[in-house]
Chain A
Amino acid sequence: MDYSVVQQCMHCGLCLPTCPTFVETGRERSSPRGRIALMRSIADGELPLSREFAEEMDYCVGCLACQTACPAGVQYVSLLEKGRAASENAGLLDTPMRRVYRWLGLRLLMTRPWLLRLVARGVAVQQIPWIRRTLYMIGAMRLAPKTLRDLEPSAPPIDAPFSDARIKTVETPPAEWWSGKPRARVAVLTGCVQDISFARVNRATVDVLLAAGCEVVTPRSQPCCGSLHAHNGDLDQAKEQARRTLDMFDWQGLRAGPLAFDSVDAVISNAGGCGSHLRHYADLLADDPNYATRAKAWDAKVRDVQEFVWQVVGGGQQAVGSEATPQSRLERVLTREPSALAAGGATKRVTYDASCHLCHGQKVVSQPIELLKRVPSYQFVPLAESDWCCGAAGVYTITQPEQAGKLLERKLGHVKAANPDVLATANPGCMHQLNLACRDDASLANVRVAHPMELLAEACRASDAS
């Protein structure tokens, strides 16, 4: 346990009302303040590292709402990761089955991009409706272990072709939209789940960055960034994934090469959860002499795509360096003023559900909203409790289905009240969770769940057509 962080908590309790698990149980041990107190007691030798402690850490949604609420600046995420790692290392939640699944997931699948993609291709075939029906009909699905069978209906749909096939290593803004030197050179991270389930979001991200006048480089066959490992108590593997991610870039070599790290102005993530982790490589690799310096340089360049795009193009009128640089295609497409509530000509309602790790982890709060408010022909409607977890929270739907269900229900109530045509959110886990929910709820059946970048990219395309 990280004592200096634990000690930073002065048990003022200001985080309690923002914590979903405390609000649910009303018990301090399920609150941020309580969990920190447990960690401190363990560090002080007043409490054993027990199975119950491990369960409590497992029950934590990991939404980091407590971090936003905390005036004392407690880095809860680091406590959570270390607390979970301590529990895992002590094998407190071990069962033979759990060990197999953790190994399969965290160690086998999520460390080998080629294997993940291979499996995804298999799943994609299984998900073709008539094949899936047939498999069920002939009873083939019964051959799968029960756990997998239970999960199958809620598996994320595979979105082939994957990113490498949709995005070239280097793409520059087409001459008809941008002349001269690109405004910036950015690297795009394609993710693991994002890559197999939402490759279209990655393509949209690149399209938007190009439309903003940036040159985009995309390393091939990217590894998982390790956030899944860190959040699930496998810090060793998380470090390894971080090193692999850094290794995608050329750190010493030719400045001219597309993947020379020095020549990249920003590293762009479009997944809230990954971005939140990607920005903290320096902490993770602090005691690795070969990578500590790189990790620091890395952290300084990682940006969420909404954050970056808003910074460079603003609302079309306040772009960084807009006097010197010409307007980009994106600046011309976005409306200057935010859409008024009943904007004339707006045909569709769009609302925004903040991904926890984007708003609480990365503190990117207003930029996605500012952008969405300026997508032509949409009317932006606010979503109540947008910064309250939807229950997706990584693998929380699998580890804590009951609490995840309650959070989802709360979220859907607000979504229904906002009554949107499009529900925008910027994290694959949230997109998937909300997609499933809308699929299963008749009153939400017509709601489309989309990443803000998809809407921006579509707006650009629409403006070309017209």
Chain B
Amino acid sequence: MIAASPATPANYNRADAALIDTLRGVVGADNVLTEAIDVAPYAFDGTAMLKQRPACVVFPTERSQVPAIVKAVTSAGVPLVTRGSGTGLSGGSVPLDGAVTLVMTQLDKVIEVDTANLTIRVEPGVITMKVDQEAAKHGLFYPPDPGSQKISTIGGNVAENSGGLRGLKYGVTRDYVMGLRVVLADGEEVWLGNQCVKDVAGYNLRDLFIGSEGTLGVVTEVLLKLLPRPQARRTMVATFATLESAAQAVSDIIARKIVPCTVEFLDQTTIRCVDDYANLGLPLDAAALLLLESDGHPAVVEEESAAMHQALIDNNATNVETAQTVEDAERLLTARRAAFSALARVSPTTILEDVTVPRSELAAVVKFIAGCAERHNVRIGVFGHMGDGNLHPTFLVDERNADEMHRFEAALEEIVDETLRRGGTITGEHGVGLAKKPFLRRQLGDGSFELLRKVKQALDPQWLLNPGKVFD
């Protein structure tokens, strides 16, 4: 599945000198890269083992340039791959041979913060964390905080419908997108959505573009909903002697009708790698660790964290510790955000999966993954957004070891099957891209899989927007 780099199918054209000249005309020569040394670093995103150089990389510096770029590229019959910061974990912005990569990072203006309607309007290249920092200046809050928030773009978040550490209580990117400006395959620009809390005029096309992975259009402006900033927060860490007791503790917290904003889970392998990176003094012999956070009104936080504490103790937590300072809490969260990269210390190749199951199935799936690792003799570190049922089994392998790669594939098959059998999904937040493509039909079934293709056909009849991603 993963080894083959995406190549241009015969019916696509490669970007040629004429197209490149046109693009230079639109954005200026400095903002079009074609030399091997310049484009080679755009051959990959955060996904392991996928690599393909584009023919050319274009950086629009004004929103108004995007329609002309899209039109020029698609009318030349050349594939267009939109890219934010290239932190994606399913190969979404990995180019095709001969393709044009459209990098949005220079469209990074915050256009407006509307404190009357509690919204923020931004360009797609704005860094996720910047959105929340801008909001904070007005006492407001933008909750979605993917692990990559210091560098991922809001456009990438919308295209992947990214989640974060606060998903349990606050939801994911989709829950905050009120409006989108999108440039379609033919270069037409449309505005979808508005500032109204309620809106049922026509089909909800805005939602169609959220999570569309750059295959339906290019997002050039995003209107986001903001919330009042929570006044207080409290972060705690609990350790457990078994995976099951950690999973049970999470179920129990939710059964007690507590919805913490964060419930993150790390297994032993991950605990060790994270500690190695961040020097937190985590208990290296614990089988599982939960990172929990409660936020909101100070009195509520007080009450909620006491109840959480009790639930953790009742479920045999070996230790529960509350962060004493804001800095401590931030350090813990940062380390958790870096869990995936930290696992890369262990092995040359780090392959991250994103299976998600209904919460009630969590304990069973965590256990299944551990068994699977043993049966196939592969190392798997597991961490994830326990509160959302979103797990990240991370394979620690070496791509040069063919035998190990076979064992990895066999183990992955089993995990995917088990996930689907329990009513789960192959990807909770990273998207299908190239990496999860082989499993999509299996999850959706023929009917809804074909429906996806019909939508794509209607919006991008030449199949030039990020072709080969999600499905062929």
Contacts and interface: CB of A to CB of B under 8 A. Distances in A.
Interface stretch (B33-41, B215-223, B460-468): B33-41
A72 B45 contact: no
A423 interface: no
Contact of A12 (B42, B276, B340): B340
Interface stretch (B13-21, B62-70, B342-350, B370-378): B342-350
B338 interface: yes
Contacts of A31: 41
Interface core residue of B41, B44, B45, B345 (most chain A CB under 10 Å):
B41
Given A10-B350, A12-B87, A17 B151 contact: yes
Nearest to B44: A11
Contacts of A41: 40
Interface in A1-37: 4, 7-8, 10-14, 16-17, 26-29, 31, 33-34, 37
Interface size class of A (residues with CB under 8 A): 20 to 34
A356 to B, nearest CB: 19
Interface in B274-311: 274, 276-278
Contacts of B338: 14, 71
A323 interface: no
A47 B341 contact: no
Contacts of B339: 71
A10 B87 contact: no
A265 interface: no
Given A10-B48, A12-B341, A47 B105 contact: no
B464 to A, nearest CB: 24
A71 B341 contact: yes
B106 A14 contact: no
B148 A12 contact: yes
A12 B48 CA distance: 9
A14 B36 contact: no
Nearest to A6: B348
Q: Which has the most chain B C-beta neighbours within 10 Å: A10, A53, A73?
A: A10
Given A14-B338, A72-B344, A47 B40 contact: yes
A406 to B, nearest CB: 18
Interface in A39-84: 41, 46-47, 50, 52-53, 56, 70-73
B85 interface: yes
B148 A56 contact: no
Contacts of B383: none
A457 interface: no
B77 interface: no
A38 B51 CA distance: 13
Contacts of B440: none
B37 A13 contact: no
Contact of A38 (B37, B87, B276, B342): B37
Interface string B427-438: 000000000000
B341 A10 contact: yes
A47 B59 CA distance: 23
Given A28-B42, A71-B277, A17 B127 contact: yes
A201 B193 CA distance: 64
B43 interface: yes
Given A12-B340, A72-B342, A47 B46 contact: no
B146 to A, nearest CB: 12
Contacts of B151: 13-14, 16-17
Interface in B172-214: none
Contact of A47 (B36, B150, B152, B340): B36
B2 to A, nearest CB: 14
B38 A29 contact: yes
B344 A8 contact: yes
B341 A26 contact: no
B40 A10 contact: no
Interface in A222-245: none
B465 to A, nearest CB: 22
A464 to B, nearest CB: 38
Interface string B328-344: 00000000001111101
A12 B342 CA distance: 10
A27 B40 contact: no
B86 interface: yes
B41 A28 contact: yes
A26 B59 contact: yes
Nearest to A7: B348
A13 B46 contact: yes
Contacts of B46: 10-13
A15 to B, nearest CB: 9
When A and B form their complex, which 9 residue pairs have the shortest distance between CB atoms, in order from nearest?
A34-B41, A28-B41, A71-B338, A71-B341, A72-B344, A71-B342, A10-B344, A12-B341, A73-B345
28 contacts: A11-B86, A12-B340, A12-B341, A13-B86, A14-B150, A14-B341, A16-B85, A16-B151, A17-B127, A17-B150, A26-B105, A27-B41, A28-B42, A28-B86, A29-B38, A34-B41, A37-B44, A38-B37, A41-B40, A47-B40, A53-B37, A71-B338, A71-B341, A72-B344, A72-B345, A72-B350, A73-B276, A73-B345
Given A34-B41, A71-B344, 18 more contacts: A7-B348, A10-B48, A10-B350, A11-B45, A12-B46, A13-B151, A13-B152, A14-B150, A16-B151, A26-B59, A27-B38, A28-B41, A29-B40, A38-B40, A52-B37, A71-B278, A73-B277, A73-B344
Interface of A: 4, 7-8, 10-14, 16-17, 26-29, 31, 33-34, 37-38, 41, 46-47, 50, 52-53, 56, 70-73
